[in-house]
Amino acid sequence: MNIYSSIRDLRGVGPKTAETLEKCCIFSIIDLLLYFPRDYEMISACDSLQGDKNYGKVIIKCEVVRIEKDIRTKSGKVLTTIVFSDGNSEFKGKWFNQPYIKNYYRLNKEYTLMGKLQEFRGEIILSNPTLVKEKVNISTEEKIIPKYPLRSGITNNLMIKLISQVLQEVEIEENLPMWIINKYKLCSLDTAMRIIHSPKSSEELHEASKRLKFQELFTYSLKILMLKDYLNKNKNGISFKIHEELKMLKEQLPYALTKAQSRVVRQILVDQKKGIPMNRLVQGDVGSGKTIVALISIFNVIKNGYQGVMMAPTEILATQHYLEAEKLFKDFNINIRLLCGSTTVKNKEKIKQGLKDGEIDLVIGTHALIEDDVEFMNLGMVITDEQHRFGVAQRSRLSNKGKNIDTLVMTATPIPRTLSLYLYGDLDVSIIDELPPGRQIIDTYYINKAGKDRVYNFALEEIKKGRQVYVVCPLVEENEELKLSSVENLYSELKEKYFQDTEIEILHGKMSPKLKDEIMNRFKRGETKIIVSTTVIEVGINVPNATLMIIENAERFGLAQLHQLRGRVGRGKHKSYCILIADVKNDIIRRRMEIMKSSNDGFFIAEQDLKIRGSGEIFGVRQHGESSLILSDVIDDIELLKLANLEAKRLIESNIENDIKVKEEILRKIEQSSRFICFN
């Protein structure tokens, strides 16, 4: 057996287990080994019940002294109690609603149990203990049990069993250059893999995880650096001219561009002139005016005789862009179409034909654009708006509809400058770091739940003045445990309590795109005064008449996200407000709310948020599950990332034979896979 053997070759893996594993993308031994624990449970051996009052999770050898009668508690649960002894003292094992548990235990017999040991009203209690069947060495200080991500039928025990079996049979070949291993005193890959799946101590685990993280960040840096190199060597890009009509377009713009916008347009035009395909990321805070920058650049491509495509994550956004393009290009003889999921079949056919014939110059739309039968005669440029909303595969599918075309991605998720260098090494980054003039500051306040009445009465006042209001809350379904206001409950509550005579609507992610668009459009037309929603309204929507953003359970959101949400108001001439209703139960939350209150600068907020929270939330990586980094966290591991990046550069410049082999291997993989790696 080797690491590429199929899991079906493993002892104890029948067709059913194999199917379960395959559903989680575990096909071969290596996939199994790369299925890392998401966490570990640290359990200490408890050899004495005396003295220590703060036991925590323990593993303990004991004997059954007595099995008590089950009790029905006030809340209707069945409580089973068995009294054990560790030889010196007695303690009680307690289980809720598992009366059958008694059958597993015999009087005076010895067992090894695992559970949380606590002192409660003078008694020592082991709550909900489980039997430890495997032989464990209680004398070792601690036992560390890996916790695997459990998806579609995978159990922790299954993973532990299979992986320990595999580790006995295979040896894993080293894959980092020796000079790196020696320099950073890393343990071998084989050792690291063994430890990560079955650590004996926390120190050991730390070493193994350092090695694997380094590896991951190193490979990641290599890929990005080589990709950049590869892209730069591709001289088959289209060299667009700066078209003379560009000047006329600029004269006709409804407003003067900000300095930042002009700079970014210039950077893009320089890219367009080059014979190297453009790969540029435009970052700009909410409302910084990315759309017009995109439209100006695609205008030049079209005037050079090529087609352009622009993809947005929702129909509303696509429509918004479409209307803006129509307005901007009305005197320039450009044939523009909108292609969305809701476009009629007949129309879709027409548009597809027009794109194939080259009759249509610019198509703006949603995911519908990436369907296979959307083909272009001569595509020159692809723009993706709010890029973090799309998967890597979706983006590259769009780019692959042309050959060596220019690619522009736009995002409002501000990435601190220090990071973007490492994260977007393969992309050129432009930043629009200035808002159009006359933008008003949105007054932001935070308030405890107790102040809700005041907040919603203020909302009523705004509505009386003719304005509109957004209310956002975190979860769709009621979650009793977390006591979060769900959108449905909140909606009923608000309607009944404050807005009986006001047009109020609900909007959430589980609705069909069509319904969502209808609701949003009613809001846009001003027919609805208040919209209660989950974060589906987060991206790009423009309703200038909305002046108040109320966010419930604001402590549950990342700051970057709060900032995005706040950006939905303050888009017109009226004074706008953002009110955060938050349970300020600790200092961190207070600090975060203060940052929101005191700053309107997306980059500053993101930097601050990074300091307080991990990067996952910021990039939305965890939610979307789309990062190529499994173990590392770009923020926590920034130092390691810097070193890995440095060594990756060194490897690329190295001429040692073995290093060259490593490089070739990676390059081959890059050429096989999609054109560019993108982060989310």
Cβ neighbors of 145 (< 8 A, separation 6 or more) are 40, 41, 43, 160
Between residues 328 and 507, which has the closer beta carbon with respect to ligand ADP? Answer: 328
Q: How far is the CB of 440 from ligand ADP (least distance, A)?
A: 12
Give contact residues for ligand ADP (rule: CB under 6 A): 255, 257-258, 261, 284, 286-292, 412, 436, 540, 542
| Residue 474 interacts with which of ligand ADP, Mg ion, none, CB < 5 to 8 Å by class | none
Q: Letter for the amino acid at 198? A: S
Between residues 37 and 540, which has the closer beta carbon with respect to ligand ADP? Answer: 540
**CB-count exposure of residue 85 (10 Å: 0-12, 13-18, 19+):** middle
Between residues 293 and 595, which has the closer beta carbon with respect to Mg ion? Answer: 293
DSSP string, 488-538: HHHHHHHHHHT-TTS-EEEE-TTS-HHHHHHHHHHHHTTS-SEEEESGGG-
Between residues 261 and 444, which has the closer beta carbon with respect to ligand ADP? Answer: 261
Between residues 315 and 637, which has the closer beta carbon with respect to Mg ion? Answer: 315
With CB atoms as reference, the residue minimizing the distance to Mg ion is: 540
Q: How far is the CB of 258 from ligand ADP (least distance, A)?
A: 5
- Counting contacts by CB under 5 A, is residue 540 touching Mg ion? yes
Q: Are 537 and 366 in contact (CB under 8 A)?
A: no
Q: Are 368 and 352 in contact (CB under 8 A)?
A: no
Between residues 320 and 486, which has the closer beta carbon with respect to ligand ADP? Answer: 320
Q: Are 376 and 307 in contact (CB under 8 A)?
A: yes
Q: Are 607 and 416 in contact (CB under 8 A)?
A: yes
Q: Give the contact letters, 483-522, x = binds to Mg ion (CB under 5 A), - = no.
A: ----------------------------------------
| Residue 255 interacts with which of Mg ion, ligand ADP, none, CB < 5 to 8 Å by class | ligand ADP
Distance, CA of 365 to CA of 321 (rounded, Å): 9
Q: How far is the CB of 619 from ligand ADP (least distance, A)?
A: 18
What the block records as the tokens of 558 is: 């990342």
Q: How far is the CB of 290 from Mg ion (least distance, A)?
A: 5
Between residues 112 and 413, which has the closer beta carbon with respect to Mg ion? Answer: 413
Q: How far is the CB of 324 from Mg ion (least distance, A)?
A: 10
Among the listed ranges 122-130, 458-466, 480-488, 534-542, the one in contact with Mg ion (CB under 5 A) is 534-542
With CB atoms as reference, the residue minimizing the distance to ligand ADP is: 289
Q: Are 94 and 127 in contact (CB under 8 A)?
A: yes
Q: Which helix (H) or strand (E) holds 612?
A: helix 602-612
Q: How far is the CB of 323 from ligand ADP (least distance, A)?
A: 11
Torsion angle defined by CA atoms of residues 210, 213, 219 and 225, in that order, rounded to the nearest 10 degrees: -100
Interstrand relation of 379-384 and 307-311 (parallel, antiparallel or unpaired): parallel
Q: How far is the CB of 561 from Mg ion (least distance, A)?
A: 16
Q: Are 521 and 543 in contact (CB under 8 A)?
A: no
Q: How far is the CB of 257 from ligand ADP (least distance, A)?
A: 5
Between residues 380 and 540, which has the closer beta carbon with respect to ligand ADP? Answer: 540
Among the listed ranges 140-148, 514-522, 540-548, 648-656, the one in contact with Mg ion (CB under 5 A) is 540-548
| C-alpha distance from residue 258 to each of 247, 472, 564 (Å) | 16, 31, 21
Q: What angle do CA 507, 511, 514 make, to 5 degrees?
A: 95
Residues 383-442 close enough to bind Mg ion by CB under 5 A:
none
Cβ neighbors of 657 (< 8 A, separation 6 or more) are none
Q: How far is the CB of 414 from ligand ADP (least distance, A)?
A: 11
Between residues 385 and 637, which has the closer beta carbon with respect to Mg ion? Answer: 385
| Residue 288 interacts with which of ligand ADP, Mg ion, none, CB < 5 to 8 Å by class | ligand ADP
Query: Which residue ranges make up the site for Mg ion (CB under 5 A)?
Result: 540
